[in-house]
């Protein structure tokens, strides 16, 4: 196994994921991990992540320097390399020219990490500090125009440093550098797979929960379904699921959950119809964050009340993924810059005083899908597009009323049907309809109309952190528009959203 030491980089889980992609088990540990704990974990190698700090800042993260004398190979990335250089007697300085973005990396000395690579290629840099003097027995192995010491090595001690970020997709050969470190330097074996993750997670849940009960909210989406199936595999009937109909779900949500999940899995599940409660709490509310808070808080109340009927529950299962965690608190753990309040992170556990079970919290969405397939969940559920907790409430601009919900639900169903029959459903990260707060004039059957407007939103993305608007064909857009206007009452205009994220977000509120 490999340990990634978290020096605060927004990429540390990405490093872990890159290691897993090479079928090697990997664990992210905090920077204050003790040498004893490292010995106990007995890793084949250690990767020190980057981080936002400068090595000479008073509170910059540091490890016990005994790390470098353990005979375990170490790869330091960006701040991780600065830390290695500094700890072993070299020098780091604020660079004359900061380097953000692409740079041409020139290999000056071949070594295990760069084995078989051409002498120059593009890499991705993000640093203000640079190494200016190497520790004893280290050599420079690569440079860029701005950074003379862009990669270093002490091959005898198996210590390596990269100023560039091999974990990001834009670094050509980045994945190979990691592969060489894992197999040629650390001697790892390819023995990690989704099956072993699944077996390990089941064993861990069994051990943590024992014969106690876990309660969990099911939304019908991929994340909660995969998490519930995994927990169910570990503890069977001691998992109690609750499905809350909050009145802002899409058309046929309950039916789809019943056909896709509960039919194949003998789940304990309670359906709660809380539509009226949510709609009356949302009456007259137009502010997006207020809508989100109302829905989040009311969900907690309804769930709490329902959970109270289950005797002796000690755990709360959640399908939180890694990107949910970084979007809800800042990646640097510092002052938070919450973009939107995603209600599935936090809230419930504090109120209910339950211990959390979040078996997916280190995974990215595509990994969760692989895990779902491993668990035998059907394709249709696995490939469902994400749907936000606050549901259609954040896709109706302005006030939410039953009539407006009915309009949006129908329009959304038509849109999804067309996207599916065009064979695009899986390719798109999300595709949905938004109901705008304006009416416009039209003419239908020789009659003047003054009716609502629907926006089509369709995006491609890998992880929802960034997204591009999908280049849907004009034919398809025309078909969707025609069908919505013909089949959904009170709509006389359809527009197409051509905004990427950033600067837009995927949802409109």
Do 330 and 252 touch, CB atoms closer than 8 A? no
Among residues 340 and 483, whose Cβ is nearest to ligand XMP?
A: 340
Establish whether 167 is a catalytic residue. Answer: yes
Question: How big is the site for ligand XMP, counted in residues (CB under 6 A)?
Answer: 15
Among residues 288 and 398, whose Cβ is nearest to ligand XMP?
A: 288
Q: Which of 277, 340, 479, 483 binds ligand XMP (CB under 6 A)?
A: 340
Structure token pair of residue 17: 């994921």
Site for ligand XMP in 437-496 (CB under 6 A): 464
Among residues 326 and 373, whose Cβ is nearest to ligand XMP?
A: 326
Cα separation, 298 vs 390, whole angstroms: 11
Which among 149-157, 341-349, 413-421, 472-480 is the span making contact with ligand XMP, rule CB under 6 A? 341-349
Q: Which of 152, 389, 455, 470 binds ligand XMP (CB under 6 A)?
A: 389
Q: Does 386 bind ligand XMP (CB under 6 A)?
A: yes
Cα separation, 453 vs 434, whole angstroms: 9
Q: How far is the CB of 114 from ligand XMP (least distance, A)?
A: 37
Among residues 112 and 360, whose Cβ is nearest to ligand XMP?
A: 360
Q: Is 59 helix (H, G, I), strand (E, B) or coil?
A: coil
Cα separation, 26 vs 29, whole angstroms: 10
Q: Which of 184, 258, 463, 507 binds ligand XMP (CB under 6 A)?
A: 507
Q: Does 342 bind ligand XMP (CB under 6 A)?
A: yes
Among residues 135 and 221, whose Cβ is nearest to ligand XMP?
A: 221
Cα separation, 17 vs 324, whole angstroms: 16
Helix ranges, 342-460 (H)? 348-352, 365-374, 379-382, 402-421
Q: Is 72 helix (H, G, I), strand (E, B) or coil?
A: coil
Q: Which of 13, 262, 430, 452 binds ligand XMP (CB under 6 A)?
A: 430
Cα separation, 356 vs 201, whole angstroms: 14
Q: Does 319 bind ligand XMP (CB under 6 A)?
A: no
φ, ψ at 449 (rounded to 5°) = -120, 155
Among residues 82, 86, 123, 167, which one is catalytic?
Answer: 167
Cβ neighbours around 334 below 10 Å, total: 10
φ, ψ at 183 (rounded to 5°) = -95, -40
Cα separation, 445 vs 14, whole angstroms: 56
Among residues 171 and 224, whose Cβ is nearest to ligand XMP?
A: 224
Which among 18-26, 41-49, 130-138, 340-348 is the span making contact with ligand XMP, rule CB under 6 A? 340-348
Q: How far is the CB of 295 from ligand XMP (least distance, A)?
A: 8
239-245 and 213-217: which strand pairing? parallel
DSSP classification of residue 396: B
Which element (helix H / strand E) includes 434? strand 430-444
Which among 77-85, 339-347, 353-361, 418-426 is the span making contact with ligand XMP, rule CB under 6 A? 339-347
Q: Does 318 bind ligand XMP (CB under 6 A)?
A: no
Q: Does 501 bind ligand XMP (CB under 6 A)?
A: yes
Establish whether 78 is a catalytic residue. Answer: yes
Phi-psi region of 143 (alpha: psi -120 to 50; beta: other; left: phi over 0): beta
Q: How far is the CB of 70 from ligand XMP (least distance, A)?
A: 41
Do 140 and 108 touch, CB atoms closer than 8 A? yes
Q: For residue 503, what are the contacts with CB-CB under 8 A and spacing of at least 6?
A: none
Establish whether 29 is a catalytic residue. Answer: no
Q: How far is the CB of 478 from ligand XMP (least distance, A)?
A: 26
Do 105 and 122 touch, CB atoms closer than 8 A? yes
Q: Does 505 bind ligand XMP (CB under 6 A)?
A: yes
Q: Does 220 bind ligand XMP (CB under 6 A)?
A: no
Q: Does 300 bind ligand XMP (CB under 6 A)?
A: no
Among residues 22, 86, 165, 342, which one is catalytic?
Answer: 165
Site for ligand XMP in 69-108 (CB under 6 A): none
DSSP 444-483: ETTEEEEEEEEEEEEEE-SSSSSBEE----HHHHHHHHHH
Interface residue list for ligand XMP (CB under 6 A)? 339-340, 342-344, 386, 388-390, 430, 464, 501, 505-507
Q: Which residues are catalytic?
A: 78, 165, 167
């Amino acid at each position: 196994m490999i340990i990634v030491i978290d020096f605060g980089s927004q990429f540390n889980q990405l490093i872990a994921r890159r290691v897993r992609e090479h079928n090697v088990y990997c664990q992210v540990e905090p920077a204050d991990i003790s040498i004893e704990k490292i010995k106990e974990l007995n890793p084949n190698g250690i990767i020190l992540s980057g981080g936002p700090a400068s090595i000479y800042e008073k509170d910059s993260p540091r490890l016990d320097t005994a790390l470098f004398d353990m005979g375990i190979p170490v790869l330091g990335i960006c701040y991780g390399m600065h830390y290695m250089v500094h700890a072993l007697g070299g020098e780091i300085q604020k660079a004359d020219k900061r380097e953000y973005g692409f740079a041409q990396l020139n290999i000056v000395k071949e070594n295990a990490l760069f084995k078989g690579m051409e002498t120059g290629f593009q890499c991705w840099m993000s640093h203000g500090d640079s190494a200016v003097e190497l520790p004893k027995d280290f050599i420079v192995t690569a440079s860029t125009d701005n950074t003379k010491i862009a990669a270093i090595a002490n091959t005898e001690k198996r210590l390596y440093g990269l100023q560039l970020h091999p974990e990001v997709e834009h670094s050509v050969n980045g994945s190979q550098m990691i592969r060489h470190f894992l197999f040629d330097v650390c001697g790892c074996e390819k023995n990690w797979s989704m099956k072993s993750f699944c077996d390990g997670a089941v064993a861990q849940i069994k051990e943590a929960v024992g014969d106690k009960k876990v309660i969990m909210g099911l939304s019908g989406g991929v994340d909660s379904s995969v998490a519930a199936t995994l927990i169910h595999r570990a503890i069977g009937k001691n998992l109690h699921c609750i499905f809350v109909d909050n009145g802002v779900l899409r058309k046929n949500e309950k039916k789809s959950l019943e056909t896709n999940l509960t039919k194949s899995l003998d789940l304990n599940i309670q359906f709660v119809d809380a539509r009226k409660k949510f709609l009356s709490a949302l009456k007259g509310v137009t502010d997006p964050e207020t809508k989100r808070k109302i829905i989040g808080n009311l969900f907690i109340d309804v769930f709490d009340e329902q959970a109270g009927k289950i005797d002796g529950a000690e755990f709360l299962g959640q399908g939180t993924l890694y990107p949910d965690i970084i979007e809800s608190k800042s990646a640097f753990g510092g002052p938070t810059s919450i973009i939107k309040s995603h209600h599935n992170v936090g809230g419930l556990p504090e109120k209910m005083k339950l211990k959390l079970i979040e078996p997916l919290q280190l995974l990215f969405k595509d990994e969760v899908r692989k895990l779902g397939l491993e668990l035998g969940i059907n394709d249709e559920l696995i490939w469902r597009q994400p749907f936000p907790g606050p549901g259609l409430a954040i896709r109706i601009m302005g006030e939410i009323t039953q009539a407006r919900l009915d309009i949006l639900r129908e329009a959304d169903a038509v849109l999804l049907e067309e996207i599916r029959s065009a064979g695009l459903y899986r390719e798109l990260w999300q595709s949905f309809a938004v109901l705008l707060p304006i009416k416009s004039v039209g003419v239908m059957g020789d009659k003047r109309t003054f009716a609502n407007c629907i926006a089509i939103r369709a995006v491609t993305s890998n992880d929802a952190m960034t997204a591009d608007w999908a280049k849907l064909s004009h034919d398809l857009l025309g078909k969707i528009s025609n069908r919505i206007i013909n089949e959904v009452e009170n709509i006389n205009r359809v527009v197409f959203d051509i905004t990427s994220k950033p600067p837009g977000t995927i949802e409109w509120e």
